[in-house]
Structure 1
Amino acid sequence: MVSPRSMILLVVLLLFARMIKAELPADSVKYRFKPITVTAGKVNGVQREIAAGVSIINEKQLQSAYNSSALDIVKDFVPSVFITERALMGYGVASGAAGGITIRGIGGSPVTGVLMLRDGRPDMMGIMGHSLPDAYSTNGLERIEVLRGPASFLYGTNAMGGVINLVSKKVHEPGFDTGITLGAGNYNSQQVNGHHGGKVGDLDYFLTAGYQKTDGHRENSDYKGSSFSAHLGYDLSPSTFVELNANYSDTYLLDPGIASAAKADQWYDIHRSGADLTLGHTGRAGESVAKIHGNFGRHEIFDGWRSNDHTAGIMFYHNAKFWHGNITTIGFDYKSYGGDAEDSVPQSPAINYSEQNIQEYAPYFHFQQLMLRKLIFSTGLRMEQHELYGSEVLPKVGLIYNAFKTTSLRISAAKGFRSPSIRELYIFPPRNEQLMPERMWSYEIGLLQQITNGVEAEIAVFQLEGENMIRTVFAKGKPQFVNSGVFTHTGYEVLLRWFLLSRADLDVAWSDLNLGDQTLGAPEKKLTASLGYEWARVNVRAHILHIANLFAADARLQRMPDYTLVNLSVAFSPWNKSVVKFWLKNALDKNYEIIKGYPMPGRTFM
């Protein structure tokens, strides 16, 4: 862990580099915020910085993905974000599954501390409270927005560690867009993705279908999955729009078990669907947006588990500008989530299969004000109302200082929150109806610096202080969920974006965390570097991932070997809108594990 003194020195050096460099042309200078942030799906234009850094994965980066997993590409480009894996394709669900997501050490497996969004709506398994990694395909996405830090004041429970928002592809210019991507590789791996979209007058639409399969690098590690998505948008008038987004996925996979005790026929069949309908209007009084949403699932597992779950709700917000430099937002959210497992056979008396539901609602506001031309002050407050735990006050406050035309400093504090899931309260034997919500405060200082045209650096230093993290302990040989004591995480992130030429780009991200005793499934050190070059119809990209200080248990127990991976990809477009890709993953054929006992694939291609 680098000392705070070293981090301050690095910030000073970046500021000095800014002061001695040549002045940029006026038309190239803007406030150094991201052009689009994770809040774009809910509080459009209000918050360009909310309590943490924001990373945007653009469409070109999405196209470089080795497979169709959206989470895989997030891990490859965003600091402090880690996704556990155990196979060539697929993550699975239930005990021992991969797909654990952590942001700055917060998240877990199953993932309940990082909130997944689709176009701003929450997407989670209603009973278990976790996200569904196998349902998140890059097909049909325009970009992915990642908020590194708590966003509970906007989204309530589960947004404690951060937010990952999948934004649907739209056709913005008149005309049509049709394409197909084909892939084949070792282990009988195959991939087919197709899309068609268009914009005709006031109507825009985008439809996708995808399929991928593999026999896996181990016996009984087969995977096959299909996904479909649709976006429809229509401008009712120049100031009013309506749009519909929908998705469906069907995943079947096998879990081979740990290598020393391999299993056969441990299958999982996961069906997920979801949709949202949004109406927006902009007038003299400001911008108003209303959204109704829902997602649904059917899970069938080899052990007899059969569940149906749902998450449904409404969202409303209004943005108003009362005076110069001001944007004020008021909003209201309501959601109900739950489900049942009454179709399960056989049924154990130790498990509660009956239908359970929980309701939450919350009013919130956000206030942002430009002051003295260089300062942006923002504050927000959410009053989360939970039917079991009553009221939870979720504040945030931030200050941004545009020190120079290409330099922005930020400081922020925000509260994160997660209420226990139905699984943790009522379902399996570790259940505990006395659990309390997890709570956390995040304090962060950040710098965004454009060094020269095409070179941008970002630094973030943060400290997380929390309590009541839900952990499993054993008493008299029986597991039980309990709230842990207080914890403190500290760390820093460094990002460098360099557009070398008009056709080349370099992205480097480094994160260094001190996680105390909460070390399960979250590496303390992570380095990623991605170099891409585009020429004519060919796109070449090399990616490096280095992981160190990864543990298979809390309290810094069962340290996993450090590893470094090199991945290569080449994409060729023989004719318009058709793409042929070649990927080489783990090009150096390294031996490594992410989940203890599950060896990862060696050199693979597609």
Structure 2
Amino acid sequence: MMNLYIRLCYDYFIRVIIYIIFLNSCYSIREESVMSRLMPLLLLLASLTATLTAEETVPADSIRVQYRMDPVVVTATKIRHARRDLAASISEIPRELIETTPTAAVLELIQHHVPGLYVTEWGVMGFGAAGQAAGKISIRGMGGGADTHVLILRNGRPDFMGLMGCTIADEFSSDGVERVEVIRGPGSFLYGTNATGGIINIIPRQVHENGFETTFKASAGSFNIRTLSLSHGGRQGAFDYYLTANTRRTDGHRDDSAYRGDHYTLHGGYRFNNSILEFNANLADLRVLDPGPVNAPRTDNWYDMLRFGGDLNWIQNSAWGESNIKLHANFGEHQFFSGWNSTDRTLGLMFFHNAKPWKGQTFTAGFDFKRYGGRADDASTDYGEFFITEYAPYLHAQQLLGSRLIVSAGFRVENHELYGREWLPKAGIVVHPDRATSLRFSLAKGFRSPSIRELYFWAPANEELTPDRTWNLEAGLSRVFGRRLRLEAAVFETRGRNLIQFSGPPPRWVNGGSYEHRGYELVFNWMARDRVEIGATWSHMDLSESAYNIPGRKLTCYASAGWRFLSASVHLLMIQDMKGAEFGPSPVPVLHEMDDFTLVNLTLSADILRRLRLNLSAKNMLNTSYEAMWGYPMPGRHLMLEMESRW
């Protein structure tokens, strides 16, 4: 009787929280935006039917459905944990969603499924490079510019341009990707620099059962889009492998906006009795043209980039726990229309050991080392060669107390050859009032080391810079109703101090900027039937006046359904309250209020033969006129027809 009373109290508590968020959302969203009300409406309907849904008799869920409701993730702690047991805010995009989202770019893909995450775009394909290009990532108001506040990992290893410290967005293709895990909030205590706003971990595809599989895709579409893709993998006993190769081309929707991208990935693994040896490699050969803003169009502004890297990973299991040692490297060669030439590299070692010394305890001790940098010159200047070394020991512990309370704490000491040490703590609490509900609280510090660009290149350079620092406090709640419906809510406050900003005259990078961002996020996921799924996310942020390329409000919705040999999926993206940046001679941009926009993408699929499928994608179905970054109008409605064969 007491358990029933507690359960009913929590049901009503959750409903009250959802009502409050619903009313706030309705008040804050513009009256004319009918589609933008979808997320609060879904939450309201779900809360009204919570008790009925929880008590209805449903068939036993498949393993796939159970996993989607509570996936096992690794990025937040470097140990496999159920998401509901972790204090961090985590989004997981599985292969099913990757395959039904009509894009081959990982960053565009995750934008449709992660609240509070935004990526700038300028055309049909391609993001470009340099400080004024597209592909700028932000999470929870952190990022949006040339300085990188979101760390991208490939299979747990950092991947960034060694000289500039930025992410080259075009090098990340969705081919050969098993899933993507996104940490919303700082992860510096485990991964070091650049993880102030969040972390994106791209996990490579593997074949898990004996046998072989091959997939070939070819497509053509508007703006002379042409793509070819080949994937092949297999497992034979202890050995598994997966290979991908693809090429993508388009003439673009504006003059001088063409794109060419060739991507290759390789995964190989071998399982011994108590250990695993893995190898992963990737290569991207890219050529992107920047058409410029419409008020100052550019001609033949090309960027040629070659990016490649890999890691060798050894995992050893014993009575003492699991040890993991990873050697990793990234390389890049860049040539730009301006005469810029650069080579960069990052070399590193990652070691950590996971143990369970007693019941309910998981413990991680690790050490990271990396050296990054490169050489650059242009038509008039040889900038020379620069490298920076960083290393850091770290600890993380998580303890189950009783059956309902989990506490965790972590600590990292980052050592940098220029500015010295940075201390990075983290703490979290997770409470399970019942099997379906999870309450979480966390406090974490993030930081970003000054890049080699800010330390040594061009007139604003300053060798005395110290790191950006942020503190993030958040609370979250997640609840599963009837095993197929999941709701999540999170509120957060992030404070940044000592931020690197432009000062002058004379022009100079200095520490001293600050900001405070507050917001909340909602996530809805309903697997109504085996081939029917509906999901939505909503984020609302109060941003500082200087924030740009970051939407104050963002809504995403998706739905997919299948019947016999037919299937369909639709994705909606709504962006509101965003400022764009107009760049001139000064590194400080002029900010402009940007128009809100709503996009709808549709994909229809049909299995024509046993091994042949046709996919028709319509992007920007409403033919919306919009800009995803200031001055760069995006394409209107455009189609792509794809042939897919699997055997």
Q: How far does the alpha carbon of each residue in 1:286-327 deviate from its partner, in whole angstroms, 9 at most, with x for none?
A: 111110000100010000101000111011111111111111
Cα pair distance change 1:272/1:187, threshold 3 Å: same
User: Which residue pairs with 1:36 in the alignment?
Assistant: 72
Q: Which amino acid aligns with 1:300?
A: Q
Select which of 356, 364, 379 maps to 1:346. Answer: 379
- What secondary structure, in the 3-state scheme, does the structure 2 residue paired with 1:177 have? strand
User: Which residue pairs with 2:267 in the alignment?
Assistant: 231
CA contact (8 A) 2:86 2:440 kept: no
User: Which residue pairs with 2:32 in the alignment?
Assistant: none
Select which of 494, 497, 502 maps to 2:522. Answer: 494
User: Which residue pairs with 1:59 in the alignment?
Assistant: 95
User: Which residue pairs with 2:283 in the alignment?
Assistant: 248
Q: In 2, Cα distance between the equivalents of 1:8 and 1:482?
A: 45
Q: In 2, Cα distance between the equivalents of 1:368 and 1:568?
A: 43
Q: Do residues 369 (structure 1) and 404 (structure 2) align?
A: no
Shift of 1:389: 1.5
Q: In 2, Cα distance between the equivalents of 1:211 and 1:429?
A: 39
Q: Do residues 380 (structure 1) and 410 (structure 2) align?
A: yes
Q: How far does the alpha carbon of each residue in 1:543-564 deviate from its partner, in whole angstroms, 9 at most, with x for none?
A: 1111000101499941100001
- What secondary structure, in the 3-state scheme, does the structure 1 residue paired with 2:133 have? coil
- Alignment map for 1:75-94 (pairs within 5 Å): 75-94=111-130
Q: Which amino acid aligns with 2:396?
A: H
Q: How far does the alpha carbon of each residue in 1:45-80 deviate from its partner, in whole angstroms, 9 at most, with x for none?
A: 498666531001111111123231000011011000
Shift of 1:22: 1.7
Gaps of 5+ in 2: 1-15, 23-42, 582-587, 641-647
Shift of 1:109: 2.2
- What secondary structure, in the 3-state scheme, does the structure 1 residue paired with 2:476 have? strand
Q: How far does the alpha carbon of each residue in 1:130-177 deviate from its partner, in whole angstroms, 9 at most, with x for none?
A: 111000000000111100000000000001110001010000000011
Q: In 2, Cα distance between the equivalents of 1:25 and 1:507?
A: 20
Q: Do residues 548 (structure 1) and 576 (structure 2) align?
A: yes
Q: In 2, Cα distance between the equivalents of 1:250 and 1:318?
A: 36
Q: Which moved more, 1:267-276 or 1:18-27?
A: 18-27
Q: In 2, Cα distance between the equivalents of 1:9 and 1:328?
A: 38
Q: Do residues 189 (structure 1) and 225 (structure 2) align?
A: yes
User: In the comparison of the two structures, how many residue pairs are matched?
Assistant: 594
Q: Which amino acid aligns with 1:447?
A: L
Q: In 2, Cα distance between the equivalents of 1:577 and 1:131?
A: 38
Select which of 540, 545, 562 maps to 1:534. Answer: 562
Q: Do residues 594 (structure 1) and 628 (structure 2) align?
A: yes
Shift of 1:513: 0.3
Please state which structure has a larger fraction of its residues in helix: 2
Shift of 1:35: 2.1
Q: In 1, Cα distance between the equivalents of 2:590 and 2:298?
A: 28
CA contact (8 A) 1:39 1:47 kept: no
Q: Which amino acid aligns with 1:426?
A: Y
User: Which residue pairs with 2:369 in the alignment?
Assistant: 334
**Percent identity between the two aligned chains:** 43
- What secondary structure, in the 3-state scheme, does the structure 2 residue paired with 1:423 have? helix
Q: Do residues 166 (structure 1) and 199 (structure 2) align?
A: no
- What secondary structure, in the 3-state scheme, does the structure 1 residue paired with 2:357 have? coil
Q: How far does the alpha carbon of each residue in 1:260-279 deviate from its partner, in whole angstroms, 9 at most, with x for none?
A: 22111100001000100000
Q: Do residues 219 (structure 1) and 255 (structure 2) align?
A: yes
Shift of 1:577: 5.5
User: Which residue pairs with 2:482 in the alignment?
Assistant: 452
Select which of 583, 587, 592 maps to 2:617. Answer: 583
Q: In 2, Cα distance between the equivalents of 1:41 and 1:195?
A: 31
Q: Which amino acid aligns with 1:154?
A: L
Q: Which moved more, 1:523-532 or 1:29-38?
A: 29-38
Q: In 2, Cα distance between the equivalents of 1:401 and 1:42?
A: 21
Gaps of 5+ in 1: none
Q: Do residues 525 (structure 1) and 558 (structure 2) align?
A: no
User: Which residue pairs with 1:390 in the alignment?
Assistant: 420
Cα pair distance change 1:602/1:15, threshold 3 Å: closer
Q: In 2, Cα distance between the equivalents of 1:441 and 1:491?
A: 14
Q: In 1, Cα distance between the equivalents of 2:491 and 2:330?
A: 36
Select which of 580, 587, 599 maps to 1:565. Answer: 599
- Alignment map for 1:81-160 (pairs within 5 Å): 81-160=117-196
- Alignment map for 1:256-335 (pairs within 5 Å): 256-335=291-370
Q: CA RMSD in A?
A: 2.5
Cα pair distance change 1:92/1:449, threshold 3 Å: same
CA contact (8 A) 2:66 2:483 kept: no
Q: In 2, Cα distance between the equivalents of 1:108 and 1:338?
A: 23
CA contact (8 A) 2:70 2:82 kept: no
- What secondary structure, in the 3-state scheme, does the structure 1 residue paired with 2:383 have? coil
Q: Which moved more, 1:112-121 or 1:37-46?
A: 37-46
Cα pair distance change 1:303/1:604, threshold 3 Å: same
Cα pair distance change 1:573/1:233, threshold 3 Å: farther
